[in-house]
Each structure stands twice: as structure tokens, then as C-alpha cells.
Structure 1
């Protein structure tokens, strides 16, 4: 008897990229456009998306400088990428080290000890390749955000 593919069902109303429903400071604001719903930081961190200048173009075609069709292509691309942390499809955040095959959902990257730098081209790194930083201020008493 042939094996049937198991189908993972994500919560209704969840982000098309990370599949989380909730708002969270790491994930950014929830953006809804037609039948698309995603967190702002999920599109910024996605490896296959690039911001474009939108001078003179209609706001209906772009979200945060990303063309809607490009976002839809990235969602389709992610369906073939399994997350190194949770093993579910849709892992659009890849480590920028070319030789590293690791891909994650944005919240899974953080859980796995990786990091996304939210400036410039928004590079993401798995734990193994993440740049090391020394904290120069006291963090005691500051809120801790768990994923």
C-alpha cells in the first residue's frame, strides 16, 4: 500500500511565514493584505526577499517595500524548506553563511540560539555562525522575551 504524505496543518490566521498567531516584539507587527497575513520581521528576515524602491508605484503592489508577488513566491519557496529547529516546512530564514544549509522560521531561529540583525540587508545566522558580542550594560531587571 502506498504511503500517504502527512500534511501539517497550521493554526488559522497564522503568519504565512512563521505560522505563529500571536503578536511578539521579535516578530513585529502583523500585516494583512488580502488573504496574506504575516509578521513584518518575518518578511524582513526571509532570505529570498529583497526590498525595492517603490517611488511612484501603487501601495497595493508593495508591503514594506516588498512586492506582493515576491512575498507569495517566498511563501511557495518556503514550503520545500524544513526548519532545522521544529522540522516543519516554511523555513524561509536561512543562515547567510553560503556553506551552511540551515533554514528556520524566525522564532525557531531565536530558540535555536541564532540571530537576525535588523539593519542593512537583515542577515540571519545560525548559532554556529552567529557573530559574538559582549554586552556592555547591565541586563538585570530588563524584560526577557520567551518564544
Structure 2
């Protein structure tokens, strides 16, 4: 990537790598890069930016040192007026810089990063509801609090190993849930909570949650459609049924997970409901 100088970078932070017009950058490295004028049409140039402007930014970055790693090539400048700190996007997390993944893609150095304006009292022994480990005794870059209930305190990013096992850390939850389902795990607020997390630099993709991918739970919406009687008497077999009469398929009135033809369970034609052995 021309802008972060990384061959490999965390796609959750830097986004996908794009190549065009002889240029190669990560999507978010370009979005956060300072002093690059963006066209109104994203199809213009390279993701809405003129190639010469990107090359100019790369040339300018050669003179800018990252406030985190100390190396040159930093393309992101703190948005605070009169602040001259620059950094690479992959260094932001390590240096406790805040990058807001929403237009206009503002970024802040550790000294000027936004703080939560929430009055919340931390009870002794409070644990992060995601990893169940203790949190810091105050709000900080690494410890956030839900602005709605003021009782849920989180680590900004639980240990990577835990995220791999549970697929569920504050940043991990956001990446997998998407903006439509991202909410406080404790009070389920999805309005004030999401806005605050955007401001504090949590990336929340605008898409359906990953658990909706490939219709992973499509079968949960399917109606049970066969007879579970020990001996099915219907000539058409267990999966056959008629709309009414002795061969109408009744589902368990409690769990709906099992079914029976009326005759297979000795039920009269006017019997309106039935319960399976597990629920009876």
C-alpha cells in the first residue's frame, strides 16, 4: 500500500486493498489520508481521488514522521487545529489514536482524541460483559462505557485470542454484527450506543451481520413438515399430508418441532391441537 507502506495489514483496520491506475492502496488508508481532495463521483480517478493528488500525498508523507512508530511515510494528520502530529493507519491502535470510520473520516492523535462525555460510576469488581475480565477503574482509550445504561463497561478490544475463539469483542462484535444489529450487549440499546462507538473510533460496517451470510439460519424459518409418529399410516409417507381430515398434519402446539397425522396418533378429525411426547 502506497499510503501505509504495508504489504500485509489488518483488513478490519485498513480495509481491502485496491489497485488501479498503477496505484495500490487500502480503502481506509485512502479515506483517512489528509489533504487529498475527493471528487463528488467515487468513480472518478482512483476511488474518487485523482492519481496525481495521491502521488503528491505520498511525496509529502516522505517528510512526515509517524508519532507512533517514528518512521516516515505518515499520511494521516490529527484533525485538531494547530496539531502537527501524523501517523500511519496501522499504527493508530497501538498509539491510542482515534480514527472515526464514518464520513468525513476524522482522525485524532492520543493527546486530542475524543473522550466519552458520560457520567457513570464504576462499581467495584465490574467486568467486561464480553470477555468477563476486569476493566480499568476509569474511562480511557482502552475502556469504554455504554452511554445508555451507564452500567456496561467494555475493553475497546479484547485479546485477539479470545476474539478468535468467541468471534465476539467490542470491535469484533461491531465487525460481525454490522450497523443494523450493533448494540450494547447488556441493555441492548442500538441508538445512543452505536453513535458513541462511532465517535470513539469503533468501526461498524454498514451491512447485514455475518451470521446472515449464506442463509446460515434459513432452516430455522422452515416449518416442520413430516409425521413423527412411531408408525406413520399415511399411504403417501411421512412427508405427505392433506389440508384437512384424518391425514392433516398437526404440529406440536408447544414446540412445533414435531408433527403427526391425526390418524397416526389416534386423534379425531375435530381435534384442533396436539402435543408431542416431549412437551405433554
Indicate whether the TM-score tops 0.5: yes
- What residue is the counterpart of 1:89 in the other structure? 72
CA distance in 2, matches of 1:135, 1:74: 37
User: How far has the Cα of 1:76 moved from its partner?
Assistant: 0.9
- Aligned CA distance change for structure 1 residues 97 and 138 (closer, same or farther; 3 Å): closer
Structure 2: tracts of 5 or more residues without a match: 117-143, 147-151, 159-165, 173-280
Aligned residues: 127
SS in 1 for 2:19: strand
SS in 1 for 2:101: coil
- What residue is the counterpart of 1:32 in the other structure? 19
After TM superposition, the structure 1 = structure 2 runs for residues 45-56 of structure 1, keeping only pairs within 5 Å, are 45-54=32-41
User: How far has the Cα of 1:54 moved from its partner?
Assistant: 2.6
Structure 1: tracts of 5 or more residues without a match: 1-14
Q: CA RMSD in A?
A: 2.2
- What residue is the counterpart of 2:3 in the other structure? 17
User: How far has the Cα of 1:96 moved from its partner?
Assistant: 0.7
SS in 2 for 1:111: coil
More helix by share: 2
Q: TM-score, normalised by structure 2?
A: 0.42
Select the structure of larger CA radius of gyration: 2
User: How far has the Cα of 1:67 moved from its partner?
Assistant: 1.4
CA distance in 1, matches of 2:68, 2:110: 11
User: How far has the Cα of 1:138 moved from its partner?
Assistant: 6.7
Q: TM-score, normalised by structure 1?
A: 0.76
